């Protein structure tokens, strides 16, 4: 197993930054959306649910293609930003948010469904406002859902390839992430380096999933 | 005295709640009705958890809901303590943090109920450091009541807090509800379909049927009134009296109770002199005698009474509604009625053969 080069390390750094930012954005956007999906009686609910789940079944290249078009100078997002976001880190973050959305929203939604409205009403009856009740009662009880959402969202963003290649290209230090680095090593027959990164990601993914399943099993929700 | 006024008209797919409520804000008011009569929905409307489209609700001088002005205070802005059917304790906090959750959110100058006081009344001092899942159902419900009380509510809403408990657990909670009310003077609305609980707790009762309040009044008047007694089926009918403990007689093992100038002797009680106890006198334990007895009798409790109303219950027996300063019912045979020639307005003596106390009512 060869040592990681400086370029590989910079790709690791980009991947980590990308995954962290994606997860933070998805938690902020996903929490209200997941709460709404868990409790709404709206007839639009299945439509929104299907849209959130799309990235699970869609070929990443399809998603990547549309995001690329949207981000480009003539696309709506690029137009809004007055410049092309394609092949930039920002563009990559936007694409990842869509791509990893189901992996954050779905665990949160099931957690909120499991919590139900009863603890919320109890908190209101104890003078906690909406925001207060959410922070002190709902989110701690839904903690497992949050852990799953964070871990799955992070790991899934780390592992994305198709979308990254379409939207980000593979510009070293900016949009070259671990998964695209492997591809490029293989293209120039640097199997040892490809193997090093691949083994790292394999181990990483396995440990992450192991952690999720172990916490789901026995993570006690105690805070005080 | 300040009153609670409420008007709700809400239609659900299979149910129509159409209620006007006007009750004084003191004591324990029971909302009584069969399952599905809308009791919980009414309580949720009062709390602001369900929003009635044309609802109106006023508590004393404060208007909490007035849909004609599109005004409806959310629950967290109302000074209400709410105890749900299930305890709904927060699983991620221990008992102490659950109790203090609301207390911490009340401004210092609005705190009228102290944690030590509530912990003592509810007998939960030994549970404070426990996890929620280590408590029995009765203990959980007591913590839930304590948690609600510590918000210093101006109104306490209890939604069948005993429904999920077995008989023994019920007795872990019931006496505390009566006590906390006597010590903290917080008006209580108590929803239940169990007549035994209402007989033990309530001062006043509102009957709810198919989403409508059909009658409301003082408990002892309602349960002895010929008109409403049909509503309290499933339980042996009698009268409720709140009497004060006057003296204990250890030699004969008796406790003397007093109410309205009458004396009642009951088996020795462990309640201190001066405290109130609630007694239940079944109509079949009351017999009537014309004039004061010359013949000595073994009956200890003889009260002078006036006949108010007589009603046949079946072919062989009648119920005689008496006034002893409070309503009392005597169940006698129709034959006795005829031979004594009893009529409304007549003075008689009621011989009371047995008096049941609070704790015995639950069977």
Tokens of B362: 């639950």
Asked which of A72-86, A192-206, B256-270 is least confident by mean pLDDT, the reply is: A72-86
**Residue A128 vs residues A117, A135, B84: alpha-carbon distances, Å:** 14, 10, 16
Flag whether pLDDT at B6 surpasses 80.
yes
Share of chain B above pLDDT 70, in %: 94
pLDDT score, position A50: 95
CB B289 within 8 A of CB B349: yes
pLDDT tens sequence across A10-45: 888 999 999 999 999 999 999 999 999 999 999 999
Query: What value does the mean pLDDT take over residues B225-245?
Result: 74
CB contact under 8 A, B81 and A140: no
In whole numbers, what is the pLDDT of chain B averaged over residues? 88
Of B104, B169, B171, residue with least CA distance to B359: B171
Distance from CA of B362 to the nearest CA of A (A): 29
Residue B80: which of A122, A125, A143 has the nearest Cβ?
A: A125
pLDDT score, position B258: 92
Taken in order of first residue, the domains within chain A and their CATH numbers are: 6-218 (1.10.3720.10)
Asked which of A113-122, B3-12, B77-86, B219-228 is least confident by mean pLDDT, the reply is: B219-228
Flag whether pLDDT at A220 surpasses 60.
no
- Is the complex ipTM higher than 0.95? no
CB A108 within 8 A of CB A31: yes
CB contact under 8 A, B105 and A118: no
Q: Which residues on B lie below 8 Å from A143 (Cβ)?
A: 92
Flag whether pLDDT at B15 surpasses 80.
yes
Flag whether pLDDT at B293 surpasses 70.
no
Residue B94: which of A123, A129, A224 has the nearest Cβ?
A: A224
CATH 2.40.50.100 domain position(s) in chain B: 240-362
Flag whether pLDDT at A216 surpasses 80.
no
Instruction: List the helix and strand counts (H, then E) for chain A.
Output: 12, 0
CB B83 within 8 A of CB A126: no
pLDDT score, position B275: 84
Alpha carbon distance B290, B329 (integer Å):
16
- CATH 3.40.50.300 describes domain B3-226: yes
pLDDT score, position B362: 44
Other C-beta atoms lying within 10 Å of the C-beta of residue B118: 24
A176 or B228: whose pLDDT is higher? Answer: A176
CATH 3.40.50.300 domain position(s) in chain B: 3-226
Measured in degrees and rounded to the nearest 5, phi and psi for residue B245 equal -75, 120
CB contact under 8 A, A221 and B101: no
Q: What is the interface size between A and B, counted as CB pairs within 8 Å?
A: 68
CB contact under 8 A, A119 and B88: yes
Residue of B46, B75, B144 best to disrupt the A interface, most CBs of A under 10 A: B75
Q: Which residue bears the tokens 């303590």?
A: B81
Distance from CA of B163 to the nearest CA of A (A): 17
CB A101 within 8 A of CB A157: no
Asked which of A58-72, B112-126, B231-245, B274-288 is least confident by mean pLDDT, the reply is: B231-245
Alpha carbon distance A168, A170 (integer Å):
6
**Global model pTM greater than 0.95:** no
Tokens of B179: 């006590």
Mapping DSSP onto H, E and C, the string for chain B reads: CCEEEEEEEEEECCEEEEEEEEEECCCEEEEECCCCCCHHHHHHHHHCCCCCCCCEEEECCEEEEEHHHCEECCHHHCCEEEECCCCCCCCCCEHHHHHHHHHCCCCHHHCCCCHHHHHHHHCCHHHCCCEHHHCCHHHHHHHHHHHHHCCCCCEEEEECCCCCCCHHHHHHHHHHHHHHHHHHCCCEEEEECCHHHHHHHCCEEEEEECCEEEEEEEHHHHHHCCCCHHHHCCCCCEEEEEEEEEEEECCCCEEEEEECCEEEEEECCCCCCCCEEEEEEEHHHEEEECCCCCCCCCCCEEEEEEEEEEEECCCCEEEEEEECCCEEEEEEEHHHHHHHCCCCCCEEEEEECCCEEHHHHHC
Q: Which residue bears the tokens 């869509």?
A: A98
Asked which of A93-102, B36-45, B348-357 is least confident by mean pLDDT, the reply is: B348-357
What H or E segment, with its residue span, contains residue A107? helix A89-115
Distance from CA of A45 to the nearest CA of B (A): 21
pLDDT class for B274, splitting at 50, 70, 90?
Answer: confident
Measured in degrees and rounded to the nearest 5, phi and psi for residue B138 equal -65, -40
Residue of A111, A126, A141, A142 best to disrupt the B interface, most CBs of B under 10 A: A126
Q: Which residues on A lie below 8 Å from B76 (Cβ)?
A: 123-130, 133
Searching chain B, which residue's CA lies closest to the CA of residue A223? Answer: B92
> Please, which residues have CB within 8 angstroms of residue A221's CB and are 6 or more apart in sequence?
A140, A141, A143, A144, B91, B92
CB contact under 8 A, A224 and B88: no
Flag whether pLDDT at B237 surpasses 90.
no
Searching chain A, which residue's CA lies closest to the CA of residue B129? Answer: A224
Alpha carbon distance B19, B85 (integer Å):
22
CB A149 within 8 A of CB A109: no
pLDDT score, position B361: 46
pLDDT class for B195, splitting at 50, 70, 90?
Answer: confident
Burial class (CB in 10 A: 0-12, 13-18, 19+), A57: exposed
Q: Which residues on A lie below 8 Å from B47 (Cβ)?
A: 125
Flag whether pLDDT at B104 surpasses 50.
yes
Angle at A178 between CA A177 and CA A183, to 5 degrees: 100
Flag whether pLDDT at B146 surpasses 60.
yes
Q: Does A220 touch chain B (CB under 8 A)?
A: no
Query: What value does the mean pLDDT take over residues A72-79?
Result: 76
pLDDT score, position A144: 86
The HSE-up count of residue B129 (CA atoms within 13 Å, CB side) is 1
Which of 3.40.190.10, 3.50.50.60, 2.60.40.1180, 2.40.50.100 would CATH assign to domain B240-362? 2.40.50.100
Query: What value does the mean pLDDT take over residues B159-164?
Result: 87
Decide: helix, strand or coil at residue A174: coil
Residues facing B155 on adjacent strands: B80
Query: What value does the mean pLDDT take over residues B231-236?
Result: 60
Alpha carbon distance B65, B83 (integer Å):
21
pLDDT score, position A224: 39
Flag whether pLDDT at A120 surpasses 90.
yes
B46 or A171: whose pLDDT is higher? Answer: B46
CA B116 to chain centroid: 25
CB contact under 8 A, A128 and B94: no
CA B164 to chain centroid: 18
pLDDT tens sequence across A181-214: 998 899 999 999 899 999 998 998 888 888 878 8
Distance from CA of B80 to the nearest CA of A (A): 7
pLDDT tens sequence across B20-33: 999 998 889 999 98
The HSE-up count of residue B28 (CA atoms within 13 Å, CB side) is 24
The HSE-up count of residue B208 (CA atoms within 13 Å, CB side) is 26
pLDDT score, position B363: 39
Tokens of B52: 């009635």
Q: Which residues on B lie below 8 Å from A118 (Cβ)?
A: 84, 86, 88
CB contact under 8 A, A125 and B81: yes
> Please, which residues have CB within 8 angstroms of residue B298's CB and are 6 or more apart in sequence?
none
Residue A223: which of B49, B89, B92 has the nearest Cβ?
A: B92
Q: Does A137 touch chain B (CB under 8 A)?
A: yes
Q: Does A140 touch chain B (CB under 8 A)?
A: yes
Alpha carbon distance B146, B180 (integer Å):
10
Query: What value does the mean pLDDT take over residues B208-220?
Result: 89
pLDDT score, position B231: 67
CB A38 within 8 A of CB A112: yes
Distance from CA of A2 to the nearest CA of B (A): 47
Flag whether pLDDT at B84 surpasses 90.
yes
Alpha carbon distance B236, B354 (integer Å):
14
pLDDT tens sequence across B306-328: 999 998 888 888 889 999 988 99
Residue B97: which of A132, A221, A224 has the nearest Cβ?
A: A224
Residues facing B264 on adjacent strands: B257
Residue of A124, A127, A140, A142 best to disrupt the B interface, most CBs of B under 10 A: A127
CB contact under 8 A, B147 and A129: no
Q: Does A218 touch chain B (CB under 8 A)?
A: no
**Residue B111 vs residues B102, B117, B183: alpha-carbon distances, Å:** 11, 12, 16
């Amino acid at each position: 197993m060869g040592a990681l080069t400086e370029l590989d390390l910079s790709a690791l750094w980009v991947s980590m930054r990308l995954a962290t930012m994606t997860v933070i954005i998805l938690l902020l956007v996903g929490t209200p959306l997941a709460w709404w999906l868990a409790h709404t009686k709206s007839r639009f609910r299945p439509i929104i649910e299907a849209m959130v789940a799309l990235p699970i079944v869609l070929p990443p290249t399809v998603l990547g293609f549309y995001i690329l078009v949207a981000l480009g100078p003539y696309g709506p997002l690029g137009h809004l930003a007055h410049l092309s976001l394609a092949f930039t880190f920002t563009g990559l973050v936007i694409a990842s948010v869509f791509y990893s959305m189901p992996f954050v929203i779905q665990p949160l939604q099931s957690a909120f469904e499991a919590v139900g409205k009863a603890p919320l009403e109890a908190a209101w009856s104890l003078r906690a406002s909406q925001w207060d009740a959410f922070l002190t009662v709902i989110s701690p009880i839904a903690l497992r859902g949050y852990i799953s959402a964070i871990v799955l969202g992070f790991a899934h963003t780390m592992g994305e390839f198709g979308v990254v290649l379409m939207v980000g290209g593979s510009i070293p230090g900016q949009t070259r992430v671990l998964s695209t680095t492997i591809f490029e090593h293989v293209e120039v027959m640097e199997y040892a380096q490809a193997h090093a990164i691949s083994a790292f990601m394999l181990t990483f993914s396995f440990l992450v999933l192991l952690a999720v399943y172990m916490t789901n099993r026995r993570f006690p929700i105690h805070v005080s | 005295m300040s009153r609670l006024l409420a008007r709700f008209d809400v239609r659900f797919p299979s149910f129509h709640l159409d209620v006007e409520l006007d009750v004084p804000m003191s004591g324990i008011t029971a909302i009584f009705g069969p399952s599905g009569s809308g009791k919980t929905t009414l309580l949720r409307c009062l709390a602001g958890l369900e929003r009635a489209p044309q609802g109106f609700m006023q508590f004393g001088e404060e208007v909490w809901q007035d849909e004609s002005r599109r005004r409806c205070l959310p629950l967290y802005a109302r000074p209400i303590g709410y105890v749900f059917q299930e305890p709904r304790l927060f699983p991620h906090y221990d008992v102490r943090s659950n109790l203090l959750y609301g207390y911490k959110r009340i401004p210092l100058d609005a705190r009228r109920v102290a944690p030590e006081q509530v912990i003592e009344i509810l007998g939960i001092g030994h549970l404070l450091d426990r996890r929620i899942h280590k408590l029995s159902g009765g203990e959980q419900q007591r913590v839930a009541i304590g948690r609600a009380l510590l918000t210093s509510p101006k109104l306490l809403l209890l939604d069948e807090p005993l429904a999920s408990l077995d008989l023994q657990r019920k007795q872990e909670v019931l006496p505390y509800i009566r006590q906390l009310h006597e010590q903290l003077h917080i008006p209580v609305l108590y929803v239940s379909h169990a007549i035994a609980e209402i007989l033990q707790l309530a001062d006043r009762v509102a009957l709810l049927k198919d989403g409508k309040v059909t009658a409301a009044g003082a408990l002892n008047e309602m349960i002895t009134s010929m008109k409403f007694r049909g509503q309290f089926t499933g339980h042996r009918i009698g009268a409720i009296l709140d009497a004060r403990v006057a003296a204990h007689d250890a030699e004969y093992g008796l406790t003397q109770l007093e109410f309205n100038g009458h004396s009642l002797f009951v088996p020795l009680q462990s309640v201190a002199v001066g405290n109130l106890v609630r007694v239940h006198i079944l109509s079949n334990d009351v017999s009537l005698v014309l004039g004061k007895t010359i013949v000595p009798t073994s009956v200890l409790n003889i009260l002078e009474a006036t006949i108010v109303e007589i009603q046949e219950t079946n072919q062989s027996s009648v119920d005689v509604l008496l006034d002893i300063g409070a309503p009392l019912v005597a169940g006698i045979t129709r034959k006795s009625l005829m031979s004594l020639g009893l009529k409304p307005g007549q003075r008689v003596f009621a011989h009371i053969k047995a008096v049941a106390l609070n704790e015995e009512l639950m069977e």
